[in-house]
Amino acid sequence: MHAPVLVINCGSSSIKYALVSDSPDTPRLAGLAERLGSPGARLRGTDSGGETFTRSLPEADPATALEAILGCLEGQHPVAVGHRIVHGGERFTRAVLIDDDVVAAIEATEALAPLHNPANLEGVKATRALFPDLPQVAVFDTAFHQSLPPHAYRYALPEALYRDHGIRRYGFHGTSHAHVSARADALAGIQGGWLTAHLGNGCSTCAVWQGKSRDTSMGLTPLEGLVMGTRSGDVDPGLHAHLARQLGWTLAEIDRVLNRDSGLLGLSGLSNDMRTLEQAAAEGHAGAALAIEVFCYRVAKSLAALSCALPRLDGIVFTGGIGENAPRVRERVVAALPHFGLVLDTATNAATAHGREGRIDAGGPQLWVIPTDEEGRIALETRQLIEERHA
């Protein structure tokens, strides 16, 4: 494998890994250590022959899990490690080489991502201890959106909240929006104006003009914006006070309901999974049908709003588990934007799923399905940084 980069995404109870070569045709060694910290912790992955394997992880802290992951790399030696870091605050506008100073700066943004950044950093620390001589790079979900202009990132709140506490819109899913918009540029042969819709368990939209994010639907936290699997997306900001006053809910309860019990799951009363909902809706489940309807309308509404950030609209790109695999959702989103002049090619749309890339319009602004590749993007940014250092 040529100059492979090890990509690590360390969460609170899982570590995703992928060994990514610089040749797109080389299969990746990839997998997931999960249920860390609980009984039944295990490592699942794919080897170079495409076979899957599962191993149990007896002492399942991140360091032990990372050692087990190293054992699955089949003797390949990464040239660098790229870490996914959720929040880079305002300091990190691109990927950076990790040193003690960068670790301290990521620690300083902990208040903005209390669930994610500490877990990401545990992975960084354990990996640095295992590979003290290997360059390690932090790639931030927020960095791609640091090009937002102030009118897109400021909330209409007292200035001191921004100045003293960093309360502003940051945006997330940056590696995904960066990857699919760059791919759309390459496929269309232009530096375009794209609206990208990352629709997975987490969902966000982004307006990208000539390779730069100009606005995005997520904000201070990944809760803002679209309806997601279990997250509510936008609600009236007065809702929190209302729930506290009228129902006596604590902050923790409000947080839990908006993040874990809402979205597709809350609306349908059935599931956060689009496949289950499509099936149930087809069988007459009213909640599932409503959940899909609200989901699609909100995607369209968000795309229409974000179109204000583009001087010209060249097209829309769908990605993420739903964006890549649910033709009916794409059809509904397109139908909910009648004034955009979109013309869907229904046959190509129906045939484009399961990791296939394709153009699905029959005229008007372009419509693309482009599989996301967050690991590939993290590896690319890591490699670019290492090459710059050696130039």
Q: Which residues contact 326 (CB under 8 A, 6 or more apart)?
A: 199, 274, 278, 353
Report the relative pairing of strands 5-10 and 80-85 from DSSP bridges: parallel
Tokens 């620690």, residue? 107
Query: CB neighbours (10 Å) of residue 90?
Result: 14
Edge-first strand listing for the sheet containing 80-85 = 52-56, 42-46, 29-34, 15-20, 5-10, 80-85, 136-140, 96-97
Six-digit token pair at 41? 């912790």
Q: Nearest 10 degrees: CA dihedral of 174, 178, 179, 182? A: 170
Distance (Å, whole) CA 305 – CA 328: 22
Q: Quick one: which of 18, 106, 3, 13 has its CA closest to 377?
A: 18
Distance (Å, whole) CA 266 – CA 364: 36
- Active-site residue 361, yes or no? no
Least distance to ligand ADP from the beta carbon of 228, Å? 8
Query: CB neighbours (10 Å) of residue 32?
Result: 18
> In b/e form, how buried is each residue of 153-190, taking b as 16+ CB within 10 angstroms?
beeeeeeeebeeebbbbbbbbbbbbbbbbbbbbebbee
Q: Nearest 10 degrees: CA dihedral of 128, 129, 134, 136? A: 0
Least distance to ligand ADP from the beta carbon of 9, Å? 11
Distance (Å, whole) CA 300 – CA 321: 17
Q: Give 352's DSSP letter.
A: -
Return residues touching ligand ADP (CB under 6 A).
200-202, 229, 273-275, 278, 320-322, 325-326, 353
Give the active site residue among 47, 101, 141, 261.
Answer: 141
Least distance to ligand ADP from the beta carbon of 83, Å? 18
Q: Nearest 10 degrees: CA dihedral of 194, 166, 242, 237? A: -20
Q: Nearest 10 degrees: CA dihedral of 389, 4, 211, 162? A: -70
Which residues are identified as catalytic?
A: 141
